[in-house]
Structure 1
Amino acid sequence: MLPLLRPRDGSTGDTPIPAVSAAEVSEHARDAERVYASGVWSGLEPRDRAAVLLRLADLMQRDADVLARLECEDAGKPIRECVENDVPGAIESIRWFAEAVDKLTGQTTPAGPGVIALTEREPFGVVAAILPWNYPLAMAAWKIAPALAVGNSLILKPADTTPRSVLHVERLALEAGIPAGVLRVLPGTGAETGAALARDPRIGALSFTGSTRTGRVILAAAAETNLKRVSLEMGGKSPQVIFADALGYGEDLISQAIECAFVTAGQNCTAGSRILVEASVAEEFTRRFVAAARALRVGDPEDPNTDIGPVINGDAARRMLAVIEEARAGGARVLLGGEEVQVIPGGHYVTPTVLDQVPADARILSEELFGPIVTVQTFTTEAEAIALANHTPYGLAASVWSSNIDRALGVARSIRAGVVSINSYSEGDLTSPFGGWGESGFGGVEKSLRAFEQWTREKAIWVQLHR
């Protein structure tokens, strides 16, 4: 049984949620295959599926307050983030992909006279997604909308600590008119429920968002079974590269650098946890950045004035503090934070932390900590900035700040990452693709029309004319 964990106060829910066993996963996959083959959803016209998904978005809007509260309680996310960002973003995703699906087209390819060669994309049938705990609803929407819009039956496994918002969306899907069995949510552990999805031969494609370590396990399981398509969106150790002339952007630079580092208490795969600043302005930038970080309010997630909520659990907090102490022992200077404080009994709160003078071989520079912890390093040349930015096995995101757009664009093109923002912290809107390089993942793109490629396979059709 899965307790309804509430990291904000350490309590559990009144009604535990049964964890789905490996045997039950197989039964659900078999039923999803039957539902797909029946055509009750897959046989609809794209516009008809879109209309149902738009009703789902309307129902999510109706229940936005409920969804925000569930996200806040389960994940410990500040309620303001849930209300202003996560829930509206999830609703927008459902609407965007619903409205885009009937815009997809195949193509004809150049062939000789007497031949028609064309391509089309078709759904896999049964597909699955394994979700992270830090953005349960937003990540669910990124999977639900394109996967269902093209006609698949989708199985979702939420993280064991954050299942309730996704379970609520499953109920809303039925209310919207999505046939039973087309979208099913299977709560459970990664070791059993998630592993069973990775190994099930009926599942044609699987999307995973989470740690690199777990992604490797999923990839191996798929390779050992039916070679299902696997899309991985995993960790990051993203740089924020700040040139001296960027200080002219004033408070916009500081506020966005703060958001990049500390949104969701740093429990964000694109968090800019490595700040690389030109040496000539490092002292000024660091002073202003530390002052802004010190002003962040660590508090109860249900308080709309809270900026920083708890980290996900005590083990995560202890791991973060151990790495900070290791860096300090190696000669790093802790400019701010570096400690756990008690805000609500049972919650685990790591204060916003900033370090500089970090030894080049320190783990804190290379290991994804998934917490409110930032390091500051300096550079003197553009080449040095690029080398520092690329000194990581990850390649998910980066930010580059400079009023010289030629330089900013040149550096952005030289950074090995799937998403690079210039003079902002941004992952782009729904029209812009999102995906990582290296140990941050591969195999699929979230958002944009490219996202449909995760959930469909291409077929070439060769027609020989006899006349």
Structure 2
Amino acid sequence: MGSEGNGGVTDRPAAEEKNVGAPPFEMPEIRFTKLFINGCFVDAGSGRTFETRDPRTGDVIASVAEGDKEDVDLAVKAARDAFDHGEWPRMSGSERGRIMMRFADLVEQHAGELAALESLDAGKHPAVTMAVDIGNAAGSLRYFAGAADKIHGETLKMRGQFQGYTLREPLGVAGLIIPWNFPTTMFGIKVAPALAAGCTVVVKPAEQTPLSALYLADLAKQAGIPDGVINVVPGFGPTAGAAIASHMNVDIVSFTGSTEVGRLIMEASAKSNLKPVSLELGGKSPLIIFDDADLDMAVELAISANFFNKGEACVAASRVYVQDSIYDRFEKKLAERMKSWVVGDPLNDPRVDQGPQVDKAQYERVLSFIDRGKREGATLLTGGKPCGKKGYYIEPTIFTNVKEDMVIAKEEIFGPVMCLMKFKTVEEAIARANGTTYGLGAGVVTRDLDVANRVVRSVRAGLVWVNCYFAVSSDCPFGGRKMSGFGKDEGMHALDKFLAVKSVVTPLRDSPWL
């Protein structure tokens, strides 16, 4: 927060003094705003465009071509031709890997421009964008480049006079629908395993943050990825996204976003060609802090687990459970620590911890949840209000006296809002952690290995962190359970969804069938 302790935007003299000598943010050149289909940037068939806006101010950054069903049809045709007749799926894995490594090199060489675009489009901190978003995208490309020549089948010992083996073949055209909270990261996470498998792709970036995906498409072409292998169609979910999900020539859809849209994608798949889907959806993750925890570390973990990336993270630990014997001390330390939390323009003030929400709709959605929490009787420990005269800034908000049946404790908010609750026993903590329709992530803070192991084995989530949070890596599978979806991004498991297993059976030479 600012010196007033209210999370105000940093328009104070102190902010200016600390910014002396810091390099000003350089506005990136917006070079790519058209659709990318079959290796070329083209206008939408309808000629329509939509505006992408700077969440710091609400001002227009650029007008971007608005793809719809007609454009998706063209992109899928290009991807289908590249898959059915092109060289990409017919290359050796090592050849694909070499090109993907060049792609990763180019991402790193252009990291500054990409980070500037991402920060401007999504309101993210440039240093975090550089380290996290760009680093993760390049890392995913390198990881799966190394996996491309390690895709093998199995030899089967069959009954009778037969032998068998399996082939793992690229599935075909992949529709990849990526979210707005980590656009470059999610581009890399989705595209890299699909390319390694030998698939071709049609990417739909979120309409709030389309610029980085278009920039990455150009880098892919420079790297030598053949035309038609990567296609990018910016647009809106009900038009471009729905067209991908229902398309008869799309063989798999991998989607990250809300549970509500995930349902629609499954429905569209069922009504069209029954394509498999991989869904990484919402979350309401618990962070359980036991009474033997290092209190200072636990406070910092709770803050980062909730307010990193402005709370716009599907795996944010928005339900923080603290054992009753340390609860009062934890709450006091947390409130004191938040007094130094700075909300403001992350592109022009190096002190800033939290920037604006991604757009007006998300800003209003988060504020509506905060209002609902107040009406339902939760108590505000910090925050609870918008801040700043323009842009989409919200104070980091912590509720206490939260009951499990409150909306703020049940529904994903996707913003800087923490629900702080107390518990007595391990059994109670586990039961309350599991008392949600979601199952994406969880965290445990304790020095007791037995307690940690018990909680890890009992909590129904796809990823559990012990004495850390948000620790991810290209080799660590990421994905949820229950209404948080199914299928994995990252790790070798991510390849599975882009590969088809084919069994081959032949008779032995002395078989009576010959």
Taking structure 1 as the reference length, the TM-score comes to: 0.96
8 A contact 1:108–1:117 mirrored in 2: yes
CA contact (8 A) 1:207 1:231 kept: yes
Measured after TM superposition, the shift of residue 368 of structure 1 is 0.5
Measured against aligned partners, the alpha-carbon deviations of 1:217-248 in whole angstroms (never above 9, x if no partner) come to 111001000001100000000000000001xx
CA distance in structure 1 between the partners assigned to 2:496 and 2:345 by the alignment: 40
Deviation at 1:350, TM superposition (A): 0.9
Task: Answer yes or no: is 1:4 the counterpart of 2:52.
Answer: yes
* CA distance in 1 between partners of 2:377 and 2:211 (Å): 44
Q: Distance in 2 between matches of 1:250 and 1:328?
A: 28
Across the two proteins, how many residue pairs are aligned to each other?
A: 461
**1:327/1:359 contact within 8 Å kept:** no
- Provide the alpha-carbon RMSD of the alignment: 1.3
Q: 1:446 aligns with which of 456, 480, 489?
A: 489
Q: 1:424 pairs with 452, 458, 468, which one?
A: 468
**2:147 matches 1:100:** yes
TM-aligned CA deviation for residue 23 of structure 1: 1.4
Residue 227 (1) aligns with residue 274 (2): yes
Q: Is the 8 A contact 1:5 1:12 kept in 2?
A: yes
1:120 Cα offset (Å): 1.8
Stretch deviating more after TM superposition (312-321 or 135-144): 312-321
Q: Is the 8 A contact 2:356 2:391 kept in 1?
A: yes
Deviations 1:172-202 (A, max 9, x none): 0000000111101110111100000001010
Quote the offset at 1:320 in angstroms: 2.2
1:313 Cα deviation after fit: 2.2
**Corresponding residue for residue 366 of structure 1:** 410
SS of residue matched to 1:358: coil
Separation in 1 of the partners of 2:381 and 2:88? 56
Indicate yes or no: 2:158 matched with 1:115: no
> 2:243 maps to what in 1?
196
The answer on 1:383 being equivalent to 2:466 is no
Aligned with residue 379 of structure 2, among 333, 352, 360: 333
2:418 partner amino acid: V
Write the distance in 1 (CA, Å) between the matches of 2:217 and 2:368.
Answer: 39
Instruction: Determine if the alignment matches structure 1 residue 20 to structure 2 residue 63.
Output: no
Counterpart for residue 36 of structure 1: 83
User: Which residue matches 2:17?
Assistant: none
**Shift in alpha-carbon separation, 1:427–1:457, aligned structure 2, 3 A:** farther
TM-score normalised by length of structure 2: 0.88
Which residue in the other structure is 1:349 paired with?
A: 393
CA contact (8 A) 1:253 1:424 kept: no
Q: Could you give the per-residue CA deviations for residues 117-160 of structure 1, whole angstroms, max 9, x where no partner exists?
A: 11121111211100000000001101111101111111100001
Could you tell me which runs of 5 or more consecutive residues in structure 2 were left unpaired when the two chains were aligned: 1-48
The 10-residue stretch of structure 1 (131-140 or 114-123) with the greater mean CA deviation from structure 2: 114-123
1:172 to 211, 219, 222: 219
Q: If each structure's helix is expressed as a fraction of its own residues, which one has the higher value?
A: 1
- Indicate how the Cα distance of structure 1 residues 36 and 408 shifts in structure 2: closer, same or farther if over 3 A, else same: same
Distance 1:116 1:39, change over 3 A: farther
Post-superposition offset of 1:250: 4.4
Between 297-306 and 45-54, report the one with greater CA deviation: 297-306
- Superposition map of 1:24-423 within 5 A: 24-112=71-159, 114-246=161-293, 249-302=294-347, 303-342=349-388, 345-423=389-467
Distance of 2:120 and 2:61 partners within structure 1: 10
Deviation per CA, 1:270-297, whole angstroms, max 9, x where unpaired? 1011100100000111111222233221
1:92-133 Cα deviation digits (max 9, x unpaired): 111011012212221112213632211121111211100000
Q: Distance in 2 between matches of 1:179 and 1:341?
A: 47
Indicate the percent of aligned positions where both proteins have the same amino acid: 38
1:427 CA drift (Å)? 4.5
